[in-house]
Structure 1
Amino acid sequence: MGVSRALLDVTPLRTSPHYRRLWLGGLLSGLGGQMALVAVLYQVWESTRSTIWTGAAGLAQALPVIAFGLFAGALADRADRRRFYLITKTGQAVCAMLLTVQAFAGGSAALVLALVAAQSLFVAGGAPASRTFLSRLLPPEQLGAGLALNRISFQGSMLIGPALGGLVIGAVGAGGCFLIHTVTFGVALWTAVLLPPMPASPAPGLTGVAAGLRFLSGNPAVRGALLTDLAATVLSMPISLFPVVNAERFGDDPRTLGLFLTAIAVGGVAASALSGTFTRARRPGAVMLAGSLTWGVALALFGVAPAAWAGPALLALAGAADTVAVVARSTVVQAHTPDAFLGRAAAAEQIVGQAGPDVGNLRAGLVAAGSSATIALVSGGLLCIAAVAAIAARTPALREPAPTVPARTP
């Protein structure tokens, strides 16, 4: 494989003006969202000085997505997805404006979390709708490249956004972050207005949700892809163990703790930059399985890594493997899902992606409390490897070439 084919494939940005604008809007709103996340944590902490309240901020984001995601996905599958996306983005922008106002007015922590939860409710609808756009805007052979570009946009926001948020808070306070957040939503709305209409098949009410659940449980490839993601996150998520590992083995140095978090993101960005090595693969299910297995191996080895340099290196490997698995998983779901079910399948992906890491971090903390961080990490990695291997053995569809998806025109 030539060097050019190994690098991130930017063909979708060159050939599709609609995708290019949508990607730019997503990048900017992602940066604004990461800045707003820092501002939320800062304002809540300054108001309460309570880790319970700062922990509740994550809960305020997660619960609406988990509770209403499938219902929102069913709505996205029954109407024009562009119009539905515009409505949800407008709702998010209004919440961002209200967060800005309350920050400059000195709002309470309870008000902040209420607005975060309201905004997350709109995210529960907008995110599944936006995930259906790629198959309408790009030809089938560019789908993997488009997913990889979306992933590097997300990772770039995570790398840069929090740092920018800290600088803005230091200069003008949390309200400045929320104001930037609001402006970036204006750009995202502009890109959505320029999209073509995207009518979807009707899927009324609860019947649509039930039909979506039947599809998700009955399609072996989609079911296997979602279960693989759950196996990787629920069984081996390591983030909650970083402080205790840093204290036990690396002298409780805050610089090392920060390096742990950065290493995962750096590995992910590197994998995205070299995503041409896997986005063109004919068997994305096999790529997903390999990435998930590598994630488990890297985290099990991290659990016993004796040297300071080995820990971040293994976490960077885990971050790269996670990116490979996530992009390949989304490719599997898109390739095996009929257009009429795309919204609900995307909602299921979003729920799994939101709930899996939270449950996994809780599992890791509980195991470590009853034993040690080393046992929690090693057992989690080994359980992940065993679960992914079992899914691979029982799901032949994941090891086969992806079906040829006919182009879905807007």
Structure 2
Amino acid sequence: MSFLSRVLPDRTPWRTLPDFRRLWVQGVVTSLGSFMAVVALPLQIKELTGSPFAVGAMGLVELVPLVVCGLYGGALADVADRRRVILLTEAGLGVLAAVLLVDALLPHPLLWPLYVVAAGVSGLSGLQRPALDALIARIVPHEQVPAAAALNSLRGNLGAIAGPSLAGVVVASAGTATAYALTTAGFAVSVVLCRRLSPAPARGPKERPSLRGIAEGAAYAWSRPVLLGTYAVDMAAMLFAVPDALFPFLADDLGAPWALGFMYAAISLGSLLLGLTSGWVARVRRHGLLVVGGAAAWGLAIAAAGWSANVWLLLFFLVLAGAGDMVSGLGRSTIWNQTIPDGLRGRLAGIEVLSFSTGPQLGQVRGGTVAGWTGTRTALWSGGVACVAAVGLLAAALPRMVRYDADTDPDAARRRTEKQAETRAGEHAAGQLPVPPPVTAPAEDPA
């Protein structure tokens, strides 16, 4: 194996799985289009009101729909055709983008539709994300899960860097209406791609989403220390060390207002660079170590950024922080998709939506509050130190998560057996194999 093949991302899922390839391309199109609205919407609210509070209120109207629809969407993804859920929510997002376009074209644009659309987008995104995650877990073979996680993270980070940059140029040069038109067009293309996905109906008996189903998913997560550890580590990392709210003040403290945009991009850049050199991930078996080690590296880098008096040094540590966050994220995603049964994958994905959405929002509140008490730099480095301490305590409290091994973990072995049986059944249905012999799953782990 050449050096480049060991370092560059493993493209096997992209080359061999048509549905994964369609989802990947669809994600790129949606990301670039969505960032047009992400940049244009707060700018339009600012132009209409001149109020920072009015812009910040978007977060308030988005939070409840995200939480409620994320949990409901998780239950829906386990009882409905996941392709259909993705297709309908993507179409709904396109309709909301068209509403923004129509409002922007009015002689006197209205304010209230902007908040309604922001809440609607948050709700539809919450409905869609569990179905999307659960569909990827179904279509990707067990041994290709780490490579698929790396490719999806690479796609996300490319969008996070290119999307806002392109959107800023479009909004500045052509206005918000043009940005909304491009967003609408992007969703139209995405719907066409989603229609080409293979159907993904629920494999169990047909049921309606229910609170009982959501509770079953929560009970499963609670009974699995490995899963609990991944959620807890992610929450701790975001709660204590997410730095975004501090960037405007850091730029002023360092006398470098020009560096504000670079601060926002630096973390995504670090994640992107790690993703571009993620070939080694396919050979890792101890993914719990990735979760813990990556989160600890994130916290250490954030603390070092807070101690940095030079803006370039601060940016360097933010890039390192992004790389650490990427490592932890790859570990989490791999564990989730290698261990969670298909019938519960949607509901657990709903819990994951809460994990990675509420953590950063609470972290913004923590950072701003501590900065008001102690100063911006102290808020940054103390959050990094607290993150490292919290991750260390969680690792000590949940040793099974740290010891997770893809080859020996009973839940991973059980899911691997399920995937092999699903593959053989599919090949048999296509006339490629004789009737598959029964496969016995490993015994349930009492722990």
TM-score, length of structure 2 as denominator length:
0.88
Q: Which amino acid aligns with 2:290?
A: V
- 2:135 matches 1:133: yes
SS at match of 1:9: coil
**SS at 1:303's partner residue?**
helix
Q: In structure 1, what is the equivalent of residue 212 of structure 2?
A: 207
1:384-403 alignment runs, 5 A limit = 384-398=387-401, 399-402=403-406, 403=412
Which residue, out of 268, 293, 310, partners 1:290? 293
Equivalent position to 1:382, from 378, 385, 398: 385
* Partners of 2:226 and 2:398 within 8 A in 1: yes
* Length, aligned pairs only: 408
- Tell me how far apart the structure 2 counterparts of residues 225 and 305 of structure 1 sit (CA, whole Å): 30
Look up the match of 2:340.
Answer: 337
Alignment of 1:310-389 (within 5 A): 310-389=313-392
- Give the aligned partner of residue 36 of structure 1: 37
Larger RCO (CA under 8 A, 6+ residues apart)? 1
**Root-mean-square deviation (CA), in Å?**
1.6
Percent identity reads 36
Are 1:22 and 1:188, in contact at CA under 8 Å, matched by a contact in 2?
no
Q: Secondary structure at the match of 1:132?
A: helix
Equivalent of 1:272 in 264, 275, 278: 275
Q: Offset of 1:63 from its aligned partner?
A: 2.9
Deviates more, 1:256-265 or 1:223-232: 256-265
SS of the aligned residue for 1:54 comes to helix
Q: Distance in 2 between matches of 1:148 and 1:302?
A: 26
Moved more, 185-194 or 14-23: 185-194
Name structure 2 gaps, 5 residues minimum: 407-411, 427-447
Instruction: Answer yes or no: is the 8 Å Cα contact 2:7–2:278 preserved in 1.
Output: yes
Question: 3-state SS of the aligned residue for 2:311?
Answer: coil
Which has the larger Rg? Answer: 2
Find 1:247's aligned residue among 240, 249, 252: 252
Work out whether residues 299 and 378 of structure 1, in 8 Å CA contact, stay in contact via their aligned partners in 2: yes
Q: CA deviation at 1:156?
A: 1.2
Q: Secondary structure at the match of 1:309?
A: helix
Conserved 8 A contact 2:134-2:346: yes
Is contact 1:279-1:328 (8 Å) kept?
A: no
State the alpha-carbon separation in 2 of the partners of residues 130 and 386 from structure 1: 33
What secondary structure does 2:309 align onto? coil
Mapped to 1, the partners of 2:215 and 2:138 lie a distance apart of 25
Which moves more between the two structures, 25-34 or 49-58? 49-58
Shift of 1:243: 2.0
Q: Please list the CA deviations of residues 3-61 of structure 1 after superposition, one character each: whole Å capped at 9, or x if unmatched.
A: 32121111111111111111101101011111111110111111111111111223333
1:301 paired residue number = 304
Q: Whole-Å Cα distance in 2 between the matches of residues 280 and 193 of structure 1?
A: 34
Asked if structure 2 preserves the Cα contact closer than 8 Å seen for 1:40 and 1:57, the reply is no
Give the letter aligned to residue 286 of structure 1: L
Structure 2 partner of 1:145: 147
Map 1:38-77 onto structure 2 (within 5 A): 38-77=39-78
The answer to whether the Cα contact below 8 Å between 1:221 and 1:333 also exists between their aligned partners in 2 is: no
Partner-residue secondary structure (3-state), 1:197? coil
Aligned to 2:118: 116
Distance in structure 1 (CA, Å) of the matches to 2:62 and 2:157: 19
Residues 278-316 of structure 1: CA deviation (Å, up to 9, x unaligned)? 243111111111100000111111111122321001000
Aligned counterparts of 2:355 and 2:112: Cα–Cα separation in 1: 27
Classify the secondary structure of the residue corresponding to 1:133.
helix
Structure 1 distance, partners of 2:141, 2:187, is 27
CA distance in 2, matches of 1:86, 1:308: 44
Contact 1:35 1:177 in 2 (8 A): yes
Q: Tell me how far apart the structure 1 counterparts of residues 380 and 169 of structure 2 sit (CA, whole Å).
A: 34
SS of the residue 2:307 aligns to? coil
Equivalent-residue separation in structure 2 for 1:118 and 1:284 (angstroms): 36
Match of 2:432? none
Q: 355-364 or 141-150: which moved more?
A: 141-150
